[in-house]
Every structure is written in structure tokens, then in C-alpha cells.
Chain A
Amino acid sequence: MNYIAEGVYQAFVMIITLNPDVVDITLRTLTITLSATLIASVICIPLGIYIAFNEFYGRKTLISVIQTLYALPTVVVGLVMYMILSNNGPLGFLDLLFTSTGVMLGQVVLILPIITGLTISALSNLDSTIRDTIVSLGATTGQFFSSMILEARFAIMSAVIMGFSRAISEVGAAIMIGGNIKGHTRILTTAITLETNIGNFSLSVALGIILLLIALTVTMIVSRFQQS
């Protein structure tokens, strides 16, 4: 079992020499995942704010449903998206199956509940005196929202990071929607699956290390941001 030592060495070599295959896969992984995170954030943060600050019928149930969907299995997302995007499916005409855009959409669906739910929690946890103070100072609705977001920005950012982490680490949806096509839809997780399947364990370990390094780097950048 020297796969791990060999994998660490290979990862080192691949990073130092900027192995073109690895650079290609890594850039694609980042592009797809960052795009998915951005799109999901643009949808989820306003949605989360709306749900957090408005009383409406079924609100509690909705929040429970969103929280349950944190555990949405990636293969279920993959299967459903395959059926929708397939030539025979309702959105088949878009030709998104086996494309990186398709993979990105899958990731968006996967992380929508996480970012929405955690945004709701972040805002609900704000001290109600802060809310009252802002309102009593005569803030307009827009000012109210922007100051609430500013107050809760670290928690919202954590929500976004959680979404990013889930997206970059998932493999089920990416492989079912994207098909793991070299040069097009192959990302780090699906490459690891393939290399493991064809017995290249040390290469899998190496790619795994690169994946961990990316996750670590992104998280560190954001936490520095939070601390500054």
C-alpha cells in the first residue's frame, strides 16, 4: 500500500510541472463550481432574506423542507437532471446533457437548499434589538435589508462556502449529467472516480490532494476576508 506515498509524490510533481491535463481539469472544476456557487447565491440570498423576514402561510413547513433538502443525494440530482435534459426529456432541446453547463446546473440545484437555508438561519439568529434599532432609526426597506445583510455577512458567507464545498466535492450528479468526457466535462471528482476504476490509485490520490488543496485555498481566502 504505497499508493498514498506515491500519490503524494505524483501530486507534487504534477503541481510543480503544471501537468496540462491536471491544469485543464482543475480550471474546469473551478469554473463550473464557482459559477454554480455564484448563480445559487444570487438566487438564494434574496430568497433567504425574504423567507427570514416575512411571515406567510406554510413558512415553517417550507423551512423544514429546505433543511431536509440539505441531504439531497447527488445521484438523485444526477438522475432527475439526466431525465430532464435527455433528448427525450422536457428540456432535451437545450442540448445541455454531457456539457459543463449541464454539470453546473446540477450543482446549482444541489446547493440551492443549503445556501437558502443557512441564509435564513444566519438572519434569524440576528439579535432582534439590532432589527428594532435599524427600524426605529427610520430605515427604508432597502436600507433595512442592506444593513441586515451587512450585520449577517459572515454567516451568509459561511453559507456560500458550505454551498461551494458541497458543489466541488460532489461526483454523482457530475458523472451522470456530464458523462465524464475528457476535455469537456471531466472535473476532479469524476477524474478520481475514473482513475480509481481503471486501477490508477496513486493518480487518484494525487488528484484528491489537489482537490483538497483547492478547497483549502478557497476557504482560507474567505476566512482571511472575514477576519480582516
Chain B
Amino acid sequence: MEIKNFKVLAILLLSAFASVMLTAGCTGTDGSAQTATPTATAEQTVTATPAPAETAQKEYADNELLIATTTSLYATGLLDQLAGEFMNDTGVDIKITAVGTGTALEYGANGDVDLIMVHDRARENAFIEDGSGTDRRVFGYNYFVIVGPESDPAGIKGMAPTEALETILTKGSGGAEGVKFVSRGDSSGTHGKEKALWSVAGYDYAEYEPVWVKEDWYVEAGTGMGGTLTMADEMDAYTLTDIGTYLKYQGDGTINLAELVNEGDDLINIYGAILVNPDKYSDTNVEVGKDWVNYLITDDVQDEIKVFGVKDYGQPLFFPAMGALDVLSPSGVTQDEISAPLA
């Protein structure tokens, strides 16, 4: 009996321990986050506890900003770096969920986040028009590229983007050996760009896609950019990718695909930050949101974007929007969108 009692006692103790963990973990901020002692060894560590308040620091009513973003900004490490610096300067806790443009827009439309950072102007415009978002600022851009096996079985190297896609389509559906195209197939910003390119080439995506997926050459990955690149690499296939993710993967030696089509205005990839409309969702953190957006378009951050990735990949992963109006205006970007701080 004594042994049994001991066991019951042990169970109770275990439960009590778990309860303590529970209260530590679930009341307000994470208790566990504070137990980790940040050291200088981890370069990219963003400390969970904000730096000691400086006297000049602004007092925010709500010290947290929740951002939903496209995967490319996060996977390349750019957003983490910028958020870390903003957190050090302001003491604001930047919380980032990297989900892809389609999901980010959905989170914004449901008022589940304060701000979205995405790259699909057509759907961004719709998002603002239906009242889900208010102000947009464009902070950076880069280009999409069509990548594929070094051997280039369809012979698209150096073609215009739409011509390249048509060639892949013609050869692929004609049964040419080794011609395959992997599509994101996930309503991401990149998938949106692919649809737009097909449309420019004269193919209504909604009409053709159901036919293509039944053929061997068109593969829908249904996954993020990284997964799609890995899949294209394994299958020796072509795919459309943002240059940032491609350079990271190529530079890290994860994939071995060549950049085949990288010229053409059609390939521009513009990143925007949009505040979720506070009139629609009263708990949107506008105060911090505006400061964050304004921070993105400061000279310092724009300079930082210019050199981000150069050290690791030999070229920048993104270009600053500031001073690039001539490049961006054909897509409908205005000077105000690039440089006017939100009031």
C-alpha cells in the first residue's frame, strides 16, 4: 500500500509541476521565452525581451505588431534582420507569421493581423478597394526568374518570359523528352505572377490549367517557393521563382538549377506593406503599424536592403524602391507610395 501511495503522490507532484509550467506558459507573455539567455554566438538571434528602454524611446499603448508575410521576405532572412533592429530601437515586439501572399491577404481580410507584407499588386489593389487595407507603401522589389536544368532541354535560355513559357508549353505538351514545368499551384504571389505571364502570352489560365495538369509536363507543387525549387531540382524541371529565394537556395548548395530567363519588364516583383484597416477592425495596432511602415521607407533601411545578401550570395536579393520610380511606375507604383511617410 505504501508503494501505491507513493505513486499517487508522485503523480500529483508531476501534475503540480505541469500546472506550474502551464501557468508560466499561458499567462500573457511566454514565461519560457525569458529563460533562454541570448548570447553573442547566435548571430541571427532576436532576443525575446526588448532592449532596456532608452529615455528617448516612444511609449506605445500596444507594444506588439503582428505581421503576416510572404515566405520570400522571411526565408531570405531580410525581415528577421529588419524586425530585430526595429525591436532594439523601439522595444516593440514584432511577431511575424510567414505564410505566403494568398494566406496573408486572407489573414488581413479577417483582421487577424495588424499588417501584411506581400507581392501581388492586383490582389493588393483588390484588398485595399474592398476596405480590408488602408495605406500601402512599396519598400522594395526584385525580379522573378525562370530557372531550369543546366542542359535546358526546351532551349529557352535568353528568351522573353512569355516566349519561354510558350516554348515550354509547346514542347512539353508535344511530348519532348525532359521538358517539365513545376508551378507553385498555391495562390501565392509567385503563382499570381505565373498566371499573369500566361495571360500576357495569350492563355487564359482558368481555362488551360485544368487541361495542363492532366498532362505530364505541368506539375503543380502546392507548396512554398523552397519546396517548389527543391522539387524542380529533383525533377530536372523548369519553374518560376523570385530571385531572392533562388539565390539563397543556389548559394547554399541546396539546388542546382540555372537562371535561364531573367530579363523582361514582365518579371518585376514588387513588395508592398499594407496596414489592415482600423475602421474595419478596431483592434488593429495602427500606431506601431505606421511607424513600422515608415521605418521601412527610411534611407537607412533602404540602404540596408540594397546590400542585403551581397556578402553571402554575391549580389543583392532585393532592390530598394527609393529612387526606382522609373522602374516601378509602369506597374502603377506612385512616388507617394515609395517615399511619403504615413501620417
A residues within 8 Å of B by Cβ?
17, 19-21, 23-24, 27-28, 30-32, 34-35, 37-39, 86-88, 95, 97-98, 100-101, 104, 150, 153, 179-184, 194, 196-201, 225, 228
CB neighbours (8 Å) of B48 from chain A are 24, 183-184
Given A24-B36, A28-B33, A181-B97, A150-B46 contact (CB < 8 Å):
no
CB neighbours (8 Å) of B95 from chain A are 98, 179, 181-184
Indicate if B155 sits at the interface (CB-CB under 8 A).
Answer: no
Complex contact A184–B33 (CB within 8 A): yes
CB neighbours (8 Å) of A101 from chain B are 25-26
Complex contact A20–B38 (CB within 8 A): yes
Contact of A31 among B24, B45, B46, B75 (CB under 8 A): B24
Complex contact B112–A87 (CB within 8 A): yes
CB neighbours (8 Å) of A88 from chain B are 110-111
17 contacts between A and B (CB under 8 A): A19-B41, A20-B36, A23-B36, A28-B30, A31-B32, A34-B21, A35-B18, A87-B110, A88-B110, A98-B97, A180-B97, A183-B30, A183-B93, A184-B48, A184-B95, A194-B98, A197-B226
Q: How many A-B residue pairs have CB under 8 A?
A: 124
Complex contact B66–A98 (CB within 8 A): yes
Complex contact A104–B36 (CB within 8 A): no
Cβ of A79 to closest chain B Cβ, rounded Å: 12
Contact with A along B43-77 (1 / 0, CB 8 A): 00110100000000000000000101001000100
Interface centre among A28, A199, A225, by most B CB within 10 Å?
A199
Bound Cα distance from A87 to B114, whole angstroms:
12
Indicate if B206 sits at the interface (CB-CB under 8 A).
Answer: no
Indicate if B281 sits at the interface (CB-CB under 8 A).
Answer: yes
B256-290 interface with A by 8 A CB criterion: 281, 283
CB neighbours (8 Å) of B249 from chain A are 199
Complex contact A199–B281 (CB within 8 A): no
Cβ of B40 to closest chain A Cβ, rounded Å: 10
B residues within 8 Å of A by Cβ?
4, 7-8, 10, 15, 18-19, 21-22, 24-26, 30-33, 35-39, 41-42, 45-46, 48, 66, 68, 71, 75, 80, 93, 95-99, 110-113, 223-224, 226-227, 230, 248-249, 252, 254-255, 281, 283
Complex contact A31–B22 (CB within 8 A): yes
Q: Please, which residue of chain B has its CB at the minimum distance from the CB of A27?
A: B32
CB neighbours (8 Å) of A228 from chain B are 7
CB neighbours (8 Å) of A87 from chain B are 110-112, 281, 283
Bound Cα distance from A66 to B156, whole angstroms:
56
Complex contact A183–B26 (CB within 8 A): no
Bound Cα distance from A34 to B15, whole angstroms:
9
Complex contact A35–B281 (CB within 8 A): no
Bound Cα distance from A88 to B106, whole angstroms:
11
CB neighbours (8 Å) of B33 from chain A are 24, 28, 183-184
Complex contact A225–B36 (CB within 8 A): no
Complex contact A28–B37 (CB within 8 A): no
Interface centre among A39, A100, A184, A200, by most B CB within 10 Å?
A184
Cβ of B149 to closest chain A Cβ, rounded Å: 18
Complex contact A17–B41 (CB within 8 A): yes
Complex contact B45–A38 (CB within 8 A): no
Complex contact A100–B80 (CB within 8 A): no
Cβ of A200 to closest chain B Cβ, rounded Å: 8
Given A20-B39, A104-B26, A198-B75, A98-B32 contact (CB < 8 Å):
no
Bound Cα distance from A199 to B76, whole angstroms:
10
Bound Cα distance from A101 to B224, whole angstroms:
27
Bound Cα distance from A21 to B97, whole angstroms:
17
Cβ of A102 to closest chain B Cβ, rounded Å: 10
Complex contact A197–B75 (CB within 8 A): yes
